[in-house]
């Protein structure tokens, strides 16, 4: 199966500070790949670079088989969706206007998250955090998005809301979408992922099928501890 999203020898960071080094990964259609790791490991830097928000320092990114160094808005037109921990919604617009601006299928969005229907005419800044994140996810899933990058979907949300969102991500993958998921809750990530990559100090330190790594939680926790205890990590908590 050909990969929908690939990174080969990817280096990324800020200015001349390299956070991610020589990263190789791929995400195929129909699968969820969970990218795990402690704060400062380079997860958000990876997502930002794969999305085109941050320019790569080296290596290649391929989206749907084609090498790209295009910015985020171009990759979005090519079929990339991004849901960030900042909840990428337009706070001053209504829910309906947010969906229209994102060129979403309204019926599809409401089928995914019927909780949004009573709030279609409400300004998004007045919605709860969970409703805002449902809207952010709907803006990706209810349009022609083939690759989805998700960065800390669950941040600050109640467990039941997190479960609701992750089930929608899993269902999208089951329908053929390729998903790269950064998630702080290890157990929840393992429940929806097909494969797992554990990042330590800007590199992949552990990888495998989610079904296999579920029995190796001690190894994953150890990877977290090694990174957080390393005083020589240039990522040093500056970025997740």
- In this prediction, residue 48 carries a pLDDT of 96
Separation between Cα atoms, residue 189 and residue 74, nearest integer Å:
29
Q: What are the sequence ranges of the domains in the chain?
A: 1-12+23-78+146-230, 80-144
- In this prediction, residue 214 carries a pLDDT of 72
Instruction: Give the start-end residues of each E strand in the chain.
Output: 3-14, 17-28, 32-36, 58-63, 66-67, 80-83, 147-151, 178-182, 195-200, 203-209
228 has pLDDT over 60: no
- Mean of pLDDT values over 210-238: 61
- In this prediction, residue 227 carries a pLDDT of 53
- In this prediction, residue 239 carries a pLDDT of 52
Separation between Cα atoms, residue 220 and residue 218, nearest integer Å:
5
12 has pLDDT over 50: yes
155 has pLDDT over 90: no
Eight-state DSSP code of residue 42: S
- In this prediction, residue 233 carries a pLDDT of 40
Q: Are strands 32-36 and 178-182 parallel, antiparallel or unpaired?
A: parallel
Q: What is the pLDDT of residues 35-86, one digit of tens each?
A: 999 888 999 999 999 999 999 999 999 999 999 999 999 999 999 999 987 7
Q: Is the domain defined by 1-12+23-78+146-230 classed in CATH 3.40.50.720?
A: no
225 has pLDDT over 50: yes
Q: What is the DSSP string of 154-216?
A: TTT--HHHHHHHHHHHHHHHHTT-EEEEE-S-HHHHHHH-SEEEEEETTEEEEEEEHHHHTT-
224 has pLDDT over 70: no
Residue 91, classed as helix, strand or coil, is coil
Q: What is the pLDDT of residues 182-223, one digit of tens each?
A: 998 889 999 999 999 999 989 998 999 998 887 777 777 776
Per the prediction, the chain carries an average pLDDT of: 90
Q: Are strands 147-151 and 178-182 parallel, antiparallel or unpaired?
A: parallel
At how many degrees (to 10) do helices 129-141 and 159-174 cross? 0
234 has pLDDT over 60: no
């Amino acid at each position: 199966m050909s990969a929908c999203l690939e990174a080969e020898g990817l280096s990324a960071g800020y200015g001349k500070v390299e956070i991610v080094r020589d990263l190789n990964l791929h995400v195929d259609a129909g699968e969820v790949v969970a990218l795990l790791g402690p704060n400062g490991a380079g997860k958000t830097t990876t997502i930002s670079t794969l999305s085109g928000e941050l320019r790569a320092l080296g290596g290649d990114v391929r989206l749907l088989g084609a090498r790209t160094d295009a910015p985020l808005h171009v990759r979005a037109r090519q079929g990339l969706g991004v849901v960030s921990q900042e909840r990428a919604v337009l706070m001053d617009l209504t829910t309906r206007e947010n969906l229209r601006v994102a060129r979403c299928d309204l019926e599809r969005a409401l089928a995914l998250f019927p909780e949004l229907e009573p709030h279609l005419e409400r300004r998004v800044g007045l919605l709860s955090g969970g409703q805002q994140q449902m809207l952010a996810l709907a803006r990706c899933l209810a349009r022609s998005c083939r690759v989805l990058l998700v960065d800390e979907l669950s941040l600050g949300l109640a467990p039941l809301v997190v479960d609701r969102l992750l089930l929608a991500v899993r269902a999208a993958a089951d329908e053929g979408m390729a998903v790269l998921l950064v998630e702080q809750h290890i157990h929840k990530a393992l429940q929806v992922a097909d494969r797992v990559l554990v990042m330590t100090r800007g590199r992949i330190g552990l990888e495998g099928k989610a079904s296999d790594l579920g029995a190796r939680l001690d190894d994953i926790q150890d990877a977290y501890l090694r990174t957080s205890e390393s005083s020589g990590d240039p990522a040093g908590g500056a970025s997740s």
